[in-house]
Amino acid sequence: MSNEAVFVYSDQFLAYRFSNEHPFNQTRVRLTYELLKSMNAIDESQIIPPRLATDEELELFHDPSYIQAVKLAGEGKLSQEVGLNYGLGTEDTPIFTDMHTASALLVGATLTAVDQVMTGKANRALNLGGGLHHGFRGKASGFCVYNDSAVAIKYMQKKYNVKVLYVDTDAHHGDGVQWAFYDDPNVCTLSIHETGRYLFPGTGNITERGQGSGYGYSFNIPLDAFTEDESWIKAYTTSFKEITDFFKPDVIFTQNGVDSHYYDPLTHLSATMKIYREIPKLAHHLANQYCNGKWIAVGGGGYDIWRVVPRAWAMIWLEMTGKSSISGALSQDWISKWQPKAQVTLPAMWDDEDNMYKPIPRKAEIEEKNEITVSKALYPIRNNKKDLNKNHGTMN
């Protein structure tokens, strides 16, 4: 019997670690996994071990010379000058021992998730170790060595010949994945992120719509700094629904960075756990409506690893397994185990308090700005629909 949902996991995910001080910390995947285990929300039969991606698989997206550079860097055999040409050894993406193996495992984990869903062994698959969306064909960027999502989508196209809708809710623009498929009409990308005006990577404007035969298949919703739950959810729901109806994908692939939360130290948005309940709910619904349930989800950003990431990421799995109505207190066993290691007080409840931050003075202005952004981003498909309806009326 097939599993409705599978969870790709290994403690080896923690080997992807730049340094003890670096904000990208895969301990958050283990924290999430243990939170789910502590509440009996995950069964051993649902856990699938990852595999290493082969060089041939990595080359579906990455340049062979770049893969070689990553291998040499991880063995301490790459000069600083050559490393920097490949984006390796920067402040964002430092070199660490065995970085090729650690990075290839994260890619292999996403490929494992893909195969589980595309072969019908599961309807839904989650790899929280993935979602490294800034990696380029021949360059590391923004904490990302290999771009598992880009490799996985290329892999899906080659092996399963499918149309893929990629939806990225990380607070940072999903640039690496967008550019990878910018001229491809069979991959539609939607990124909902904080405006690049003050935030890395600075791209993700509504005018980035694709090129050549891929024009019209790249969508960006850059939200204003300090955007709150209602405005965020409205932008997400409207754009995701309309784009899915326009593109009609065979499979939905979601990147689930959870750094839009108010507590996140690297971003400037003001969302709470409310959006992390809604994000997987809509993905699940649309996958059922358009893709026979096929939904692959990966992790991404999220730098408050104690107070935000475990709760927000757990919600994806709970949605995948029909348990997302959970509320109230978190597992006391989990809190007792991890509180001594945390630098902050762990949350006691699944949901955030209502008065988490002071009211935002520009609230109405921000909401209006975001509505205009969504309208502009979706204008081509709305306009096209209008024209189709008009022509249909003329024909009758």
Report yes or no on 87 lying in a domain: no
Q: What is the pLDDT of residue 60?
A: 99
- Number of residues that this document lists for the chain: 396
Report yes or no on 183 lying in a domain: yes
Report yes or no on 71 lying in a domain: no
Q: How many independent structural domains does the chain possess?
A: 1
Q: How many CA atoms lie within 13 A of 72 on its CB side?
A: 14
Best CA proximity match to 251, nearest among 144, 123, 80: 123
Report yes or no on 243 lying in a domain: yes
> Is the predicted pLDDT of residue 395 greater than 60, yes or no?
no
Confidence of residue 1 (pLDDT cuts 50, 70, 90): very low
Note down the domain range covering 138. 3-50+104-395
Q: Span 272-286, mean pLDDT?
A: 99
Average pLDDT over the chain, rounded to whole? 96
Q: Span 185-213, mean pLDDT?
A: 98
DSSP one-letter code for 182 = T
Q: Span 166-179, mean pLDDT?
A: 99
Q: Span 101-129, mean pLDDT?
A: 99
Q: What is the pLDDT of residue 360?
A: 92
Report yes or no on 63 lying in a domain: no
> Is the predicted pLDDT of residue 56 greater than 90, yes or no?
yes
Confidence of residue 392 (pLDDT cuts 50, 70, 90): low
Q: What is the pLDDT of residue 394?
A: 52
Report yes or no on 64 lying in a domain: no
pLDDT tens column, 136-149: 999 999 999 999 99
Reading the block at residue 348, the tokens are 């006691």
Which residue shows structure tokens 């039969």?
Answer: 45
Q: How many CA atoms lie within 13 A of 120 on its CB side?
A: 2
Q: Which residues contact 304 (CB under 8 A, 6 or more apart)?
A: 261, 263, 264, 265, 344
Reading the block at residue 376, the tokens are 């502009």
CATH number reported for the structural domain that contains residue 23 in this entry:
3.40.800.20
Confidence of residue 386 (pLDDT cuts 50, 70, 90): confident
Q: What is the pLDDT of residue 385?
A: 76
Report yes or no on 203 lying in a domain: yes
> Is the predicted pLDDT of residue 275 greater than 90, yes or no?
yes
> Is the predicted pLDDT of residue 378 greater than 80, yes or no?
yes
Report yes or no on 73 lying in a domain: no
Q: Span 84-89, mean pLDDT?
A: 98
How does strand 3-8 pair with strand 47-48?
A: parallel
What's the rounded Cα separation, in Å, for the pair 352 and 235?
21
> Is the predicted pLDDT of residue 335 greater than 60, yes or no?
yes
